Amino acid sequence: MNTRLQRLRERIADEGLYAILISQPENRRYLSGFTGSAGVLLISQEQALLATDFRYYEQVKRQAPDFRLVEVNDTLHGVLSNLIATLGFRRLGFESHVLTVETYEQWKAAMPAVEWVPTSGIVERLRQVKDAEELAAIQRAVRIADEAMAHFMEWVRPGVTELQAAWELEVYMRTHGAERLSFPIIVASGENAAMPHAVSSDRVIHLGDPLVVDIGAVYAGYCSDLTRSFCIGQPDDKYLAIWDLVLKAQLAAEKALRPGMLGNEADAVARQIIYDGGYEGKFGHGLGHGVGLAIHEEPRASQTYKEPLPRGAILTVEPGIYLPGWGGVRIEDMVFLTDDEVQVLTQAPKVPFIEAR
């Protein structure tokens, strides 16, 4: 935590700020270790304070020993007003992409002498580069999802519903080390697989159905993200051709990825293969996104992300093809950008079909 605080302090000095208020939950946890649902960090070059209410006093002492607890017994803006006046801060940064207009107006009214400076993405940019502790937690979350997918491919059979299949995956992950899910599990069968973010339903899975299965586990606060696509039983030639094309695009992108590559350049590697295969307009989302304390964070590999992918980033590689009325195919791994190569973290099997049971 001390290293993270020092990096943040360098950033706020560059911004010419006395201090910064951090209220975004993942940013708050990243900097302090505090996992409670309410609280604000106040960080300057000399101070590291955490203001929260009675529910979390003991939790702060246990999880954030490097921070001084500020007890909120009244309104938060009232406590902050007294605290900031005592500390003499005059130019204060806040997370403009997080704070509501109502809260901002309360803070301004309570502290009229303060110059409020909107900031965006300061901590998120620090979070892009994972340290050894974060990498280890993500690797464990990836392993839980890998094992759950392998179990699922042995378990799933015609006649079960998407919801029953999703529950099987959730139970497996929760009983094998996951503290929670990264996101609601997607089990999309048949024509439902044409929706990239389908919601698992009571649709019965039939023999020959294409399946898109998207899962993620959380371990020590860090997420994983995994998608596999396959048919139950022997697929037809169309499915095999599309599946092979998506896999080709994914493997090419993983091979081409390197630190410093622009996000849109990485996306273009997979996108061009899919478009050349005759499916322009059928791959409607980005190639990938960062994963960490949040399931979707920067950096990103997409047509619109024109920033470099930093060394130490962890992101997904997940091209797909989606055909309304037919179904879809998406194959997703998580990768770690090291000094001179890409380490593929995901090890779940990639197969176009499984035998019907």
Distance (Å, whole) CA 169 – CA 161: 13
Query: Of 225, 200, 229, which is closest to residue 322 (Cα–Cα)?
Result: 229
DSSP 185: -
The pair of three-digit structure tokens given for residue 317, joined into one six-digit string: 């590689």
The pair of three-digit structure tokens given for residue 357, joined into one six-digit string: 């049971």
Distance (Å, whole) CA 27 – CA 34: 10
Query: Of 177, 255, 231, 259, which is closest to residue 353 (Cα–Cα)?
Result: 231
Pairing, β 91-95 against β 19-22: parallel
Q: How far is CA 233 from CA 24, 207, 208, 353, in A?
A: 46, 6, 5, 6
Q: Can you list the domains of the chain with their CATH numbers? A: 2-127 (3.40.350.10), 132-354 (3.90.230.10)
Distance (Å, whole) CA 144 – CA 150: 10
DSSP 38: S
Instruction: Report pLDDT for 155.
Output: 97
DSSP 193: G
Instruction: Report pLDDT for 356.
Output: 84
Cβ(18)–Cβ(44) below 8 Å:
yes
Instruction: Report pLDDT for 339.
Output: 84
Instruction: Report pLDDT for 220.
Output: 98
Q: Which residues lie below 8 Å from residue 156, measured CB to CB, with a gap of 6+?
A: 165, 168, 205, 211, 232, 354
Phi first, then psi: what are they for 208, rounded to 5°? 90, -10
Distance (Å, whole) CA 109 – CA 15: 24
Cβ(100)–Cβ(69) below 8 Å:
no
Distance (Å, whole) CA 120 – CA 136: 28
- pLDDT by 10s per residue, the chain, length 357: 789 999 999 999 999 999 999 999 999 999 999 999 999 999 999 999 999 999 999 999 999 999 999 999 989 999 999 999 999 999 999 999 999 999 999 999 999 999 999 999 999 999 999 999 999 999 999 999 999 999 999 999 999 999 999 999 999 999 999 999 999 999 999 999 999 999 999 999 999 999 999 999 999 999 999 999 999 999 999 999 999 999 999 999 999 999 999 999 999 999 999 999 999 999 999 999 999 999 999 999 999 999 999 999 999 999 999 999 999 999 999 999 998 789 999 999 999 999 987
Cβ(334)–Cβ(291) below 8 Å:
yes
Residue whose tokens read 């093809």: 321
Instruction: Report pLDDT for 341.
Output: 81
Instruction: Report pLDDT for 357.
Output: 78
DSSP 45-90: SS-EEEEE-GGGHHHHHHH-TTSEEEE-SS-HHHHHHHHHHHHT--
Distance (Å, whole) CA 275 – CA 271: 6
Instruction: Report pLDDT for 135.
Output: 98
